[in-house]
Structure 1
Amino acid sequence: MMISRIKFLIAGIFAVGFLQMNLVNAQYKSTIKNETVLFNNIDAVLPLGKLDKYTITVCTQDSSLFRDFNDQISRYAAVTYAGLGSFDEQVKYSNLVIVAVKAEALTFPFIEQLVQAKMNNKKIILAVFGKGDVLSLLNNVKVPILWNDHFSRETQNNAAMTIFGGLSAFNKLQKTYSSSFMKGMGEATSQTRIQYGVPANDEINIDRLSKKIDEIAAEAIAEKATPGAVVMVIKNGQVIFEKGYGYHTYSKKEPTTIHNIFDLASVSKIAGTTPVIMRLTEQGIVDLDKPIGDYLWQAKSTNKKDIRLKSVMLHEAGFTPFIPFYRNLKPGDLQSYDSPTHHVKVADSCYLLNNYYRDVMWPEMLQSEVKPEGNYVYSDISMYVMKEVAEHQTAIPMQNYVQDNFYRPLGMKTAGYNPRDRFAKQDIIPTEQDTSFRKVLLQGYVHDQGAAMAGGVAGHAGLFATANDLAIYGQLLLNRGEYGGERYFEAKTVDLFTSKQSLTSRRGLGFDRWDPNLKNEYPSKLSNATVYGHTGYTGTCIWIDPANQLVYIFLSNRVHPQVSTKLLNLNIRSRIQDAIYEAIAAGKK
Structure 2
Amino acid sequence: MPSLAGNGRRGGNRALSAPRLRVDSPERAGLDPGELRLLVRDVRAAVERGWAAGAVVVAGRGPVVAVEEATGWAVRYARYDEETGTGVELPPDARVPMTVDTPFDLASLTKLFTAVAAVQQLERGTLGIDARVGAYLPDFTGAAAHGVTVRQLLTHTSGLRPELPLYDAADAAGRLALLRAEEPVGAPGTYCYSDLNMLLLQHLLQRLTGCPLDVLIHGCVTRPLGMTATGFGPCPEAAATEDQRRPWGKADRGMLRGVVHDENAWALGGVAGHAGMFSTGRDLAVFCRALLTGGSYGPARILGPDYVELMLTAPGLGFAVDQPWFMGELAGRGAAGHGGFTGTSLVLDPATGVFLVLLANTVHPRRRPPDNTVRATAATRLHRAVRPL
Flag whether TM exceeds 0.5 (same fold).
yes
Contact 1:225-1:565 at 8 Å conserved across structures: no
Which residue pairs with 1:514 in the alignment? 322
Question: What letter corresponds to residue 529 of structure 1 in structure 2?
Answer: R
Cα distance in 2 for residues equivalent to 1:482 and 1:366 = 36
Larger CA deviation: 212-221 vs 438-447: 212-221
Of the candidates 471, 474, 480, which is equivalent to residue 288 of structure 2?
Answer: 474
Q: CA deviation at 1:476?
A: 0.7
Q: Which has the higher contact order (CA 8 A, sep 6+)?
A: 2
Cα distance in 2 for residues equivalent to 1:277 and 1:290 = 13
Of the candidates 189, 195, 199, which is equivalent to residue 22 of structure 2?
Answer: 195
Contact 2:285-2:355 at 8 Å conserved across structures: yes
Larger CA deviation: 198-207 vs 316-325: 198-207
Contact 1:431-1:560 at 8 Å conserved across structures: yes
Q: CA deviation at 1:446?
A: 0.6
Which consecutive aligned stretches of 4+ in structure 1 deviate over 4 angstroms post-superposition?
19-22, 300-305
In structure 2, do the counterparts of structure 1 residues 522 and 431 end up closer, same or farther at CA, with 3 Å as the change threshold?
closer
Alignment partner of 1:243: what SS?
A: strand
Of the candidates 222, 225, 234, which is equivalent to residue 60 of structure 2?
Answer: 234
Q: Does 1:429 align with 2:233?
A: no
Contact 1:314-1:508 at 8 Å conserved across structures: yes
Q: Does 1:377 align with 2:187?
A: no
Q: Does 1:444 align with 2:252?
A: no
Q: Does 1:583 align with 2:389?
A: no
Question: What letter corresponds to residue 104 of structure 2 in structure 1?
Answer: F
Alignment partner of 1:242: what SS?
A: strand
Q: CA deviation at 1:360?
A: 1.2
Cα distance in 1 for residues equivalent to 2:228 and 2:301 = 19
In structure 2, do the counterparts of structure 1 residues 460 and 191 end up closer, same or farther at CA, with 3 Å as the change threshold?
closer
Which residue pairs with 1:295 in the alignment? 136
Contact 1:292-1:305 at 8 Å conserved across structures: no
In structure 2, do the counterparts of structure 1 residues 495 and 24 end up closer, same or farther at CA, with 3 Å as the change threshold?
closer
Q: Does 1:368 align with 2:182?
A: yes
Cα distance in 1 for residues equivalent to 2:6 and 2:149 = 27
Of the candidates 540, 563, 573, which is equivalent to residue 375 of structure 2?
Answer: 573
Question: What letter corresponds to residue 150 of structure 2 in structure 1?
Answer: L
Q: CA deviation at 1:203?
A: 2.6
Q: CA deviation at 1:458?
A: 0.4
Q: Does 1:548 align with 2:358?
A: no
Q: CA deviation at 1:529?
A: 2.0
Contact 1:292-1:304 at 8 Å conserved across structures: no
Of the candidates 269, 281, 292, which is equivalent to residue 111 of structure 2?
Answer: 269
Larger CA deviation: 478-487 vs 362-371: 362-371
**Number of equivalences:** 360
Question: What letter corresponds to residue 259 of structure 2 in structure 1?
Answer: Y
Q: CA deviation at 1:311?
A: 1.1
Contact 2:40-2:57 at 8 Å conserved across structures: no
In structure 2, do the counterparts of structure 1 residues 526 and 192 end up closer, same or farther at CA, with 3 Å as the change threshold?
closer
Contact 1:291-1:305 at 8 Å conserved across structures: no
| Superposed CA RMSD | 2.3
Which residue pairs with 2:50 in the alignment? 224
Q: CA deviation at 1:20?
A: 6.1
Q: Does 1:23 align with 2:13?
A: no
Q: 1:418-440: CA deviations, max 9, x gaps? A: 133xxxx2x21010011232332
In structure 2, do the counterparts of structure 1 residues 452 and 304 end up closer, same or farther at CA, with 3 Å as the change threshold?
farther
In structure 2, do the counterparts of structure 1 residues 442 and 488 end up closer, same or farther at CA, with 3 Å as the change threshold?
same
Contact 1:263-1:464 at 8 Å conserved across structures: yes
Which residue pairs with 1:68 in the alignment? none
Which residue pairs with 2:334 in the alignment? 530
Which residue pairs with 2:211 in the alignment? 396
Contact 2:56-2:99 at 8 Å conserved across structures: yes
Contact 1:304-1:366 at 8 Å conserved across structures: no
In structure 2, do the counterparts of structure 1 residues 304 and 472 end up closer, same or farther at CA, with 3 Å as the change threshold?
farther
Cα distance in 2 for residues equivalent to 1:204 and 1:301 = 50
Q: CA deviation at 1:21?
A: 5.9
Which residue pairs with 1:306 in the alignment? 147
Alignment partner of 2:57: what SS?
A: strand
Contact 1:544-1:551 at 8 Å conserved across structures: yes
Q: CA deviation at 1:325?
A: 2.7
Of the candidates 229, 247, 259, which is equivalent to residue 101 of structure 2?
Answer: 259
Instruction: List runs of 5+ in structure 1 lacking aligned partners.
Output: 1-18, 27-189, 334-355, 501-506
Instruction: List runs of 5+ in structure 2 lacking aligned partners.
Output: 77-88
Relative to the length of structure 2, the TM-score reads 0.87
Which residue pairs with 2:79 in the alignment? none
Q: 1:208-261: CA deviations, max 9, x gaps? A: 412x12331233223211010000012021101110011123346221111000
Contact 2:40-2:69 at 8 Å conserved across structures: no
Contact 2:233-2:258 at 8 Å conserved across structures: yes
Relative to the length of structure 1, the TM-score reads 0.58
Once the two structures are aligned, what percentage of the paired residues are identical?
27
Question: What letter corresponds to residue 524 of structure 1 in structure 2?
Answer: G
In structure 2, do the counterparts of structure 1 residues 302 and 214 end up closer, same or farther at CA, with 3 Å as the change threshold?
closer
Alignment partner of 2:308: what SS?
A: helix
In structure 2, do the counterparts of structure 1 residues 521 and 538 end up closer, same or farther at CA, with 3 Å as the change threshold?
closer
